[in-house]
Amino acid sequence: MTESEVKQYLAKSCNYDVVNGLYIYLRNDRRIVNSMNRELVDFANKKIKAKNFNKVLFVQAVKLSIDKWLKDPYFKKEYGVYLPKSISNVDKYHTAYLIARYILFDFFRISL
C-alpha cells in the first residue's frame, strides 16, 4: 500500500459509530493494548532509528495490526457481537489513524 492509497482511504467518510466502537474495544482491552503497543512501538522505533519513518505508512502498519486482531478468536468472542460482521477498510483506516495518533504522541511525542 502506498502513501497516496492510505490518504485516499482517510479522505473518505466513515461510519463513526463503527470507528469509535472498534477504537474503544482495541484501546481498552489490556491484552490487546499490551500486544498491539509492543508490536507497533517496536516497529516505529526501528523505522525512526533507521531514519526512514513515515507517519502515513505507520497508519498502514496499525491497520494491518487491526486486521490481525479482527481475525483473532479472542477478539471475536469478546467483541464480535458488538460490531458489524464486516467492517469496511475505510472504517479500519480511520480507526488505525486514531490509534497511530495516540501511539506516536504517547510514546514518541510525534504529532500525526
Parse the chain into domains and list their residue ranges: 3-108
Tens-digit pLDDT profile for residues 20-59: 999 999 999 999 999 999 999 999 999 999 999 999 999 9
pTM: 0.94
CB-CB contact of 46 with 76 (8 Å): no
The CA R_g of the chain, rounded to the nearest whole Å, is 14
Residue with cell 504517547: 106
The answer, yes or no, to whether residue 88 has pLDDT greater than 90, is yes
Q: What is the pLDDT of residue 56?
A: 96
Could you tell me the three cell numbers for 21? 466502537
Chain-centroid distance of CA 40 in Å reads 9
